[in-house]
Amino acid sequence: MSPSRTLKKHVILLIALILMFLAPTALNAICLEDSAHEVTLPIPAVAQSGKESFGVISYLTVRVVPGSGHVYIETWPLAEVDMQASARIAAHIAFEIANKYKDLGSFDSWDYLYSVRSNSPIMGGPSAGAAMTIATIGALLEIKPKPGIIITGMINPDGTIGAVGGILEKIDAAASINATTFLLPYGQLYVNKTVMEKYTIGPFIYYKTKTVTVNVRKYALEKYGIKVHEVLTIYDALKYFYESLPVSDTISHIDMYRSALTFHYVNSFLKNSSILALNHTQEYLNTTLSKMDALSRIFYRDDIEKAQYLIQKARELINDKLYYSALSLLFQANTTITYMYNMMEYSTQGDRYIEDLTKELNNTIDFLKSILVRSNLTDGMIAAQIRVIDAVDSLEKAGEYYKEGDIYNAIRELSYAEERLKTAFLWINFSGSLFSSDSIRDSFDDELSFATLLYAYIYSMYGSHYADQVLRYLELSEKAYAMKFYGGAYLYALEARAHAESFLDILGISSSDLLNKIAYVRYETMREINISLNNKSIIPLLALAYFEYSYYFENKENDLELAFVFTKLAKSWITAYMKFGTATYGNITLNNITLHTSKENSSSNESNGGSIGESSGDRLEIRAIIVAIVMFAIFLLTVYLMRRD
């Protein structure tokens, strides 16, 4: 064999070996590149220069790749408010929806990469949440969104689109890229705008500011030719962006949802507890009054009248079968009576009484801690945990007041703590579902992060006055977590989120639109409550209690804001029951309830699941076979060359 022929054979052999080593790497590269699904959407944002705010267009790119459930986000320039929590919620909701159309495995089978680019520093915050969800659904399903559509709105964990600010500025920004359709959260068709008005007095010119209401739909159409549509949930938005998806919207069924405003659930535990509490409170008041002389009755007249009013109001609520609401009023009555009792004891015993009472309450807290830090918790124990945290918080306040010499407020806080601990023992007696502390703890960070995001957004846009209540619940949540009260920490995080979402959702909204939002959330809550009762044999007491409380504030107090807060809490808790809860025992009756459920989006989506695109798993398998065949051919060629003379 000639030297040139031998050299040629060695070169071919070397190339073959290199190809064999590189083939698996090539396969991985092909798989990664092909499985990296990407969607880019323009999103409107608000930038600020000095005191002036203006709209800008940012570009959101979502890329999903095979991974392990991580969510990454980068913004350039850096946003003033972190968007990580919005991205995580968007990823989870998008996967849940997309998985109904195509089998995607599990959420943890993918990594979710979000990139937001802008030419101006933006406020950031939750207003890109809806767009993130829309883009992620497209990336997971490998379909492209229809061009010319802009959406603004935060994505709530229940799939509703939350209200945002800067609507007019964002429409101005949408016009700069020739958008034809603008989607905004339900109830924000009218926004208030501050304008400068010029007027003259004699030779002098003056300016004054005034607030005017702007019709957003008219503003966008007449100024830019942009059509504006409201979206209540992410499903309403999907039908605009992805016309090929079979989607059943929600906004067209508002009249059906309003049927959910007319009733509530009745629970035997709450019924029996409220009746016992009513009798106890009346007897407690009578006993306390019997210890008062005429002068004391004059001194405590306002407190006596308050307690009597609350007891009578609770009696009426019990007659109306609003048992949780009655318990809440009776708690307030008992706190008032205990305050009077403790003040009378202090008047005879002095500071020694406060010291002894504080010691007794701390001992009770220590005892409750010993039985409430557990690996498995009932929902009654979770309710007890937040009452213990409330008591701890009040004890700290009492100490501060006492140090300042403010005896009256110190005793008020001690009285509140005392009654709060009594109700903790009441709730421990109930068990409608069992929760794993570890599971709740693992989900706590997401809840706290999103609530913190909303707090930061409200603080940056509207100031500390409006954000303080949300901050209080965040602080209580962290305090509960530090005590290893993971259920209580989770519940406080839910309360922080509910108050924040409600604050944003009611800005500039009409009572009618707000009532429709309440109706939708209540309707969806009822649907899940019925599933938990019928399919999981769980009695979701905390969800039932908040559901009733929302009914109370809507129908008895005419307070739609608090009705919305407790509606959202009920929805959050029924979701927690469905996610974490396992059956224990309990009983429930329904109060004249007939629930008419509509066909779920998921059923129609699943029936069409195989019609969208070719499975990426199938394509990867085909490529793997092709590469394997090539490798085998190289192997045969190598053997042939080595044996050939």
pLDDT at 231 over 90: yes
Residues of the chain with pLDDT > 90, as a percent, come to 61
Q: What is the largest CA-CA distance in the chain?
A: 127
Can you tell me whether residue 321 is helix, strand or coil? coil
Lowest mean pLDDT among 209-218, 259-268, 313-322, 484-493: 259-268
pLDDT at 642 over 70: no
Average pLDDT over residues 595-606: 31
pLDDT at 379: 93
Can you tell me whether residue 326 is helix, strand or coil? helix
Residues 6 or more apart whose CB falls under 8 angstroms from that of 253 comprise 598
49 or 260, which is more confident?
260
589 or 261, which is more confident?
261
Backbone angles phi, psi at 431, to 5 degrees: -145, 105
pLDDT at 276 over 60: yes
One-letter identity of residue 618: D
pLDDT tens, residue by residue, 414-465: 999 999 999 999 999 888 899 999 999 998 988 898 899 889 888 877 888 8
617: pLDDT confidence band, cut at 50, 70 and 90?
very low
587: pLDDT confidence band, cut at 50, 70 and 90?
very low
pLDDT at 459: 87
Can you tell me whether residue 202 is helix, strand or coil? coil
pLDDT at 220 over 90: yes
Average pLDDT over residues 221-225: 96
391: pLDDT confidence band, cut at 50, 70 and 90?
very high
- Following DSSP, what letter does each residue of 460-517 receive, concatenated? HHH-HHHHHHHHHHHHHHHHHHHTT-HHHHHHHHHHHHHHHHHHHHTTT--HHHHHHH
pLDDT tens, residue by residue, 545-564: 999 999 999 999 999 999 99
9 or 121, which is more confident?
121
121: pLDDT confidence band, cut at 50, 70 and 90?
low
Residues 6 or more apart whose CB falls under 8 angstroms from that of 12 comprise 637, 641
Average pLDDT over residues 332-355: 96
Residue 40 is inside which H or E element, if any?
strand 37-49
pLDDT at 21 over 60: no
pLDDT at 641 over 70: no
Average pLDDT over residues 144-157: 93
68 or 535, which is more confident?
68
498 or 50, which is more confident?
498
518: pLDDT confidence band, cut at 50, 70 and 90?
very high
120 or 189, which is more confident?
189
Cα of first residue to Cα of last residue in the chain, in angstroms, is 6
- Following DSSP, what letter does each residue of 400-418 receive, concatenated? HHHHTT-HHHHHHHHHHHH
Residue 217 is inside which H or E element, if any?
helix 216-224
CB atoms inside a 10 Å sphere around CB 85:
26
pLDDT at 215: 94
Distance CA 266, CA 269 (A): 9
pLDDT tens, residue by residue, 65-98: 999 999 999 888 766 556 778 898 899 999 999 9
Average pLDDT over residues 286-292: 95
pLDDT at 603: 30
Distance CA 566, CA 359 (A): 35
